[in-house]
């Protein structure tokens, strides 16, 4: 029929017509790269004094502030001031806050964008936004470009496929970071919760090569944060911020700000004139319960953790000053719950067998302490064991330091090794670590009083610095077998 024919010819044409009109319509509204909003640093409403704790981070960032305020002072001295600063640490610890404080203290123009605003459906648009952002900042020097939540674009590139847009955006960011020249007065800051997921290219020299760790607060940090967030609140005389700080291990600055606010709301609801300790107690209960799913370290876990870290600290003292503990803490840092930092006292380029054994004992002492004190062990030592395995392996496989086959390497890629030799080699590696573990347990049992002392101090203060550790261990003489030999820890045997 005629009508049918007409329909058959016209329907597709009408259909495509509609599609084209719709397409044009969406294109009209397709977002374009708009200039980034800029704020004068002097109008940022966060000041240095709003940031509590975080002394190390503040100190490092003070340099950036000085640079932006008076570039010439640094130029005269030929100093190169860092241009790319990455703030990293757990969520809610004050990264965004401190970036704003830097902006306000320096008075520079502040371009702040969350990286998620670069994540776009349209290919190339994220990259265009980044280009625009940096273009604007360069036009308005001195300026700070702050990319918050960098993880949204900064995770490792995929190399094609569905993630091309993400890769393009990240590439553009790398291009911009490389594009600075010495005269630019633009500092780029970024914040990330997950340093380990970032594309390594971002961390290369000349890019985000200065990394500032923004850590979860320890007890004194928490007290300071509580101080900031109760500044404008009338407190009853019974409020004890120090005690609240002690009861809130595991809470971040954001949690504590929330706590103070909740307490004030409670007091308001009761039509009170002041916020009382009881209001804080009630809010604390609520907040801690709400955070149960998240990592709040329980009292029991804290004790184990304290002994684990105390074990490392006591052992590094016992093996002499080869691997002194700079700091021991039970404040969680990223994935690792606690850590004890060992820094070599001097640079040396050789190490002895005894020193390797001592080093293994320091790494094993965390778990050894758990076993000595609680009679059971936790999974908290996985990283330590990894390091110990590497050391023992290198000793036997590469340095010919085993009893069974001294003066011979037995590398894994050496096919000439007989099955017999391989068995020997593996059992020798196991023997070395087992011996070191037994010795670590023996020494810690012998110095149980010192172990208790350090653990108690950690439970109370959460972080102990070098001087505090030394004071706690002053009466104990090192029992190192390596102290009379030469050695180095500069190049740890981390080849495998
Ligand atoms: P992050 O960016 O690290 O996730 P934020 O900077 O957004 O954390 O912190 C959120 C809020 O928590 C801040 O606005 C502030 O009220 C509070 N806060 C966090 N850390 C601190 C701190 N160190 N001192 C004072 N307040 C803090
Ligand atoms: Mg933030
Ligand atoms: Zn450990």
Residue 420 is among the residues annotated as catalytic for this protein: no
What pLDDT shows up at residue 408?
61
Q: 29 C-alpha to center of ligand 2: Å? A: 30
Which of the ligands is closest to the CA of residue 378? Answer: 3
Given its phi and psi angles, is residue 112 left (phi above 0), alpha (psi -120 to 50 degrees) or beta? beta
- 251-292 residue pLDDT tens: 899 999 999 999 999 999 888 899 999 999 888 878 776 665
Which of the ligands is closest to the CA of residue 147? Answer: 2
Pick from 58, 88, 92 the residue to mutate for probing ligand 1's pocket: most ligand atoms within 8 Å of its CB.
Answer: 92
What pLDDT shows up at residue 63?
85
**CA–CA dist 386, 261 (Å, integer):** 44
CATH number at residue 244: 1.10.8.60
* Rounded average pLDDT over 111-115: 87
Give, as one character, the DSSP assignment of residue 249: T
Q: How many domains does the chain have?
A: 3
CB of residue 92 inside a 6 A radius of ligand 1: yes
Q: 76 C-alpha to center of ligand 2: Å? A: 35
Which residue range is the domain that position 182 belongs to? 38-213
Lowest pLDDT segment from 49-53, 298-302, 434-438: 298-302
**CA–CA dist 488, 112 (Å, integer):** 45
- What three-state secondary structure class fits 28? helix
Which among 309, 355, 428, 462 is annotated as catalytic?
A: 309
In this predicted structure, the answer to whether residue 314 has a pLDDT above a threshold of 90 is yes
Q: 257 C-alpha to center of ligand 1: Å? A: 8
Same domain, 77 and 193: yes
- 375-422 residue pLDDT tens: 988 887 778 888 888 888 888 877 777 766 655 666 656 566 677 777
What pLDDT shows up at residue 454?
96
What pLDDT shows up at residue 484?
43
Taking CA atoms only, the protein residue closest to ligand 1 atom 6 is 94
CB of residue 254 inside a 6 A radius of ligand 1: yes
In this predicted structure, the answer to whether residue 449 has a pLDDT above a threshold of 90 is yes
Residue 180 belongs to a domain: yes
In this predicted structure, the answer to whether residue 79 has a pLDDT above a threshold of 60 is yes
Same domain, 376 and 487: yes
Atom of ligand 1 nearest to the CA of 254: 12
Count of C-beta atoms within a 10 Å radius of residue 400 = 14
pLDDT band at 479 (very low <50, low <70, confident <90, very high): confident
Same domain, 453 and 488: yes
CB of residue 251 inside a 6 A radius of ligand 1: no
Structure tokens, 21 = 């009109």
Structure tokens, 202 = 């971002």
Q: Which residue has the tokens 């970036």?
A: 99
**CA–CA dist 30, 216 (Å, integer):** 41
Higher pLDDT pick, 209 / 443: 443
Same domain, 240 and 370: no
CATH number at residue 90: 3.40.50.300
Enter the pTM of the model: 0.66
Q: How far is CA 116 from CA 90, 112, 130, 166, 213, in A?
A: 18, 12, 12, 11, 22
Same domain, 452 and 479: yes
- The full length of the chain comes to 496
Task: Give the contacts of 132 (CB within 8 A, at least 6 positions apart).
Answer: 33, 34, 35, 36
């Amino acid at each position: 029929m005629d009508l049918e024919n007409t329909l058959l010819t016209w329907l597709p044409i009408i259909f495509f017509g509609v599609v084209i009109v719709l397409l044009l319509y969406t294109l009209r509204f397709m977002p374009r790269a708009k200039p980034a909003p800029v704020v004068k640093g002097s109008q940022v409403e966060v000041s240095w004094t709003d940031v509590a704790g975080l002394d190390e981070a503040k100190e490092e960032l003070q340099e950036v502030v000085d640079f932006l305020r008076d570039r010439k002072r640094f130029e005269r001295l030929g100093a190169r001031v860092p241009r790319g600063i990455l703030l990293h640490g757990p969520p809610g610890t004050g990264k965004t806050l401190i970036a704003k404080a830097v902006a306000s203290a320096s008075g520079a123009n502040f371009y702040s964008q969350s990286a998620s605003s670069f994540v776009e459906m349209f290919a190339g648009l994220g990259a265009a936004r980044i280009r625009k952002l940096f273009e604007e900042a360069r036009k308005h020097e001195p300026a700070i470009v702050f990319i918050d939540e960098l993880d949204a674009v900064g995770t490792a590139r995929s190399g094609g496929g569905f993630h091309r847009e993400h890769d393009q955006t990240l590439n553009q960011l790398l291009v911009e970071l490389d594009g600075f020249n010495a005269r630019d007065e633009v500092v780029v800051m970024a914040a990330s919760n997950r340093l380990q997921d970032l594309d390594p290219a971002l961390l290369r020299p000349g890019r985000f090569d200065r990394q500032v760790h923004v850590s979860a607060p320890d007890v004194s940090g928490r007290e300071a944060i509580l101080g900031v967030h109760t500044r404008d609140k009338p407190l009853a005389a019974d409020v004890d911020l120090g005690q609240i700080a002690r009861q809130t291990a595991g809470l971040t600055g954001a949690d504590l700000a929330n706590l103070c606010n909740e307490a004030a709301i409670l007091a308001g609801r009761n039509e009170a004139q002041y916020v009382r300790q009881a209001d804080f107690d009630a809010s604390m209960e609520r907040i801690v319960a709400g955070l149960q799913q998240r990592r709040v370290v329980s009292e029991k876990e804290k004790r184990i953790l304290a002994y684990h870290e105390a074990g490392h600290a006591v052992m590094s003292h016992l093996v002499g000053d080869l691997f002194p503990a700079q700091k021991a803490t039970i404040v969680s840092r990223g994935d690792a719950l606690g850590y004890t930092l060992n820094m070599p006292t001097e640079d040396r380029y050789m190490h002895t067998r005894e020193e390797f054994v001592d080093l293994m004992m320091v790494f094993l002492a965390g778990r050894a302490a758990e076993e000595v004190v609680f009679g059971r062990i936790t999974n908290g030592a996985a990283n330590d064991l990894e390091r110990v395995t590497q050391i023992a392996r290198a000793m036997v496989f590469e340095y010919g330091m085993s009893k069974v086959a001294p003066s011979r390497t037995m590398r894994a890629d050496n096919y000439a090794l007989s099955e017999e030799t391989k068995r020997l080699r593996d059992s020798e590696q196991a023997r070395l670590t087992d011996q070191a573990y037994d010795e670590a347990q023996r020494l810690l049992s012998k110095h149980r009083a010192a172990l208790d002392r350090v653990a108690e101090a950690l439970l109370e203060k959460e972080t102990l610095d070098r001087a505090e550790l030394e004071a706690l261990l002053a009466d104990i003489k090192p029992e190192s077998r390596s102290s009379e030999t030469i050695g180095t820890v500069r190049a740890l045997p981390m080849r495998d």
